[in-house]
Structure formats: structure tokens, C-alpha cells
Amino acid sequence: MRLLLLSFLFIFSSLAQESSPVIADGEKPVFISKEFKFTEGPAVDKDGNVYFTDQPNNRIMKYSVDGKLSTFMQPSGRSNGLFFRGEKLIACADADNEMWEIDVKTKDKKVIIKNYKGKRLNAPNDVWIAPNGGLYFSDPFYKRTWWKHKKSEQDTEAVYYQAPGSKEIVRVAANFKRPNGLVGTPDGKHMFITDIGDKKTYKYDIQEDGSLANRRLFCSMGCDGMTLDNQGNLYMAALGVHVFDKDGKKIEHIKIKGWNANVCFGGKDMDTLFITAKESFISVKMKVKGVR
């Protein structure tokens, strides 16, 4: 009897240890669709609907809270990263190295950024909107097959900021091999930027004027896209999704075969993690919730 009790306690202890700090108990990744060529840039609107890009097919998709998948816009300017600013969808439009503002209701688009100091941008990749409406985006140089030009006009690969109401952009972070994903905290005080080329991710303090200061290493890992949850954990898309707590300690690895390009939270209760993984669009039910 004592041996049986000890066996039970061992099994119970093992199961408890396997419980994820962020994934809902018993939940696993669900493949919603595998109809794409390369998915990217998931972004959530105020209702929990998720928009994401299928860049080679030049389209933006929508996955609604009622589980319906549809094409929102095609062509889409070869959009990559996306983020909502109120009712408008901000897109890294890679066809002509621009940043777009898309009216979700009418699908009208407006070019809001197209160069830096009169020179063509590299390839706007990821975007984050601060609580005050300020816009940050990364600008690595990834050579695209649909471009006519072959060389960058910029002298570096960097991160830029456009203040609310301004038409100009300022370079707020450089000294990267290849910046990619970025995300800021919901209080607008801090920003994470990953240098996928150097396999490092940095944390910055956001200043009142939108500039970035006090760069420090957050973790020795690079990734593609990133998002945060309401506990301050950072989700980094790469080979699977790696989750780091606010102190830079890895607490979870969501294993999904192949390259995972980006992540965001969505759904009616903001408790579902959505993952763009090459030809796939995936969801995972979580214990935690996302932040907008």
C-alpha cells in the first residue's frame, strides 16, 4: 500500500511539474489552416479579430472571433508586419519599401512613410504603436524578388520613430547586424528589439520625446516577431515560440516544427496565442492574456 501511495505521489508530482506557466492545462497548438506560402505580421483589433499577412501571395488575411478565415485585402503591397492604431491598420508595405495606413472599413490605404532623408527605406519589417500613437518600425534589408533595385540606399539597418502628428521619422536605434521584431510595453515605458543577425535581444527605455535610451541585453537569442502578455512575459518567434519572463529567464518553449515568423494574442478574451509559421496559421489556448 505504501509503495502504491509513493507511486501515485511521484506521478502526481511529475504531472504538476509538467504544467506550463503560460499554456492552459491540456492544451496544444491547433493548426487552423495550412493554405499559405509564408505567414507574418499578426495583429489584433479592439474586438479580438486577428489580421495577418501571406506575403508571397500579396494578401492580408482576417481570422474573426467566430472562427471564420477570410481574405481581407489582395493585393496588399506585399505587407509584412502589422499593428492597429485605433481603427486603422498600420502595415509594413514591402512592395515599395513604404509604411501604409489602411482604413479597415473602406480598405482605402494611405502611404504615411516612404523614405528617410530622401532615400528609400530598406524593407520595413515590424511595427509597434505606442500608447500615445507614436509609430516605431524596424528596417532591415532583406532582398526581395519583386524589387527592381538590388542595393540598399540607407547606410545601416535601424529602427525608426514617427511622432504623433508628424510626417517625418527619426532614427532611434542602430548598431545592429539585422534588427527585426520589436514590441513595447503597454505603459509605453520600455521597448524590446531583437537583432536576429546577432542572436541578441535588447531592452530600451522610451523617453518622453520617443527616443530610446539605456540599451541593455535582455537575452542572448534573436528571433523574428515578438509579443507580450499581461504578466510581462516576452514571446519570441523562431524555431517554435520561446517565452521569457520579465527578468530574461526562459520559462517555456512552444515546440512547432519549422520557422515561426510572428505571434500575437487575440480572440474575444485575448487569451489565445496566434502563431504565423510559414504555410500555417496556428492557435494555442493560454492561461495568460495578451496586451494591446
Identify whether 159 is part of a domain. yes
Identify whether 1 is part of a domain. no
Measured in whole angstroms, how far is the alpha carbon of residue 218 from the centre of its chain? Answer: 17
Distant-in-sequence, close-in-space partners of 170: CB < 8 Å, separation ≥ 6: 160, 161, 162, 163, 210, 211
Report how far residue 135's alpha carbon sits from residue 148's, in angstroms, rounded to the nearest whole number.
28
Tens digit of each residue's pLDDT (9 = 90 or more) over 166-183:
999 999 999 999 999 999
Name the pLDDT band for 17 (thresholds 50, 70, 90). Answer: low
| Residue 4 DSSP SS3 | helix
CATH of the domain at 43: 2.120.10.30
Residues 140 and 126: beta-carbon distance below 8 Å: no
What percent of the chain lies above the pLDDT cut of 70?
A: 94
The pTM of the full predicted model, rounded to 2 decimals, is: 0.93
Report how far residue 137's alpha carbon sits from residue 93's, in angstroms, rounded to the nearest whole number.
12
Identify whether 57 is part of a domain. yes
Q: How many domains, in total, are found in the chain?
A: 1
Report how far residue 17's alpha carbon sits from residue 21's, in angstroms, rounded to the nearest whole number.
10
Tens digit of each residue's pLDDT (9 = 90 or more) over 121-130:
999 999 999 9
Q: Supply the DSSP symbol for 161.
A: E
Identify whether 290 is part of a domain. no
Domain that holds residue 81: 24-285
pLDDT (0 to 100) of residue 250: 98
What percent of the chain lies above the pLDDT cut of 90?
A: 93
Model confidence at 3: pLDDT above 80: no
Model confidence at 186: pLDDT above 70: yes
Rg (C-alpha) for the chain, rounded Å, is 20
Tens digit of each residue's pLDDT (9 = 90 or more) over 193-252:
999 999 999 999 999 999 999 999 999 999 999 999 999 999 999 999 999 999 999 999
Nearest to 289 by CA among 277, 271, 264, 266: 271
Tens digit of each residue's pLDDT (9 = 90 or more) over 112-159:
999 999 999 999 999 999 999 999 999 999 999 999 999 999 999 999
pLDDT (0 to 100) of residue 6: 40
Residues 50 and 62: beta-carbon distance below 8 Å: yes
Report how far residue 157's alpha carbon sits from residue 291's, in angstroms, rounded to the nearest whole number.
28
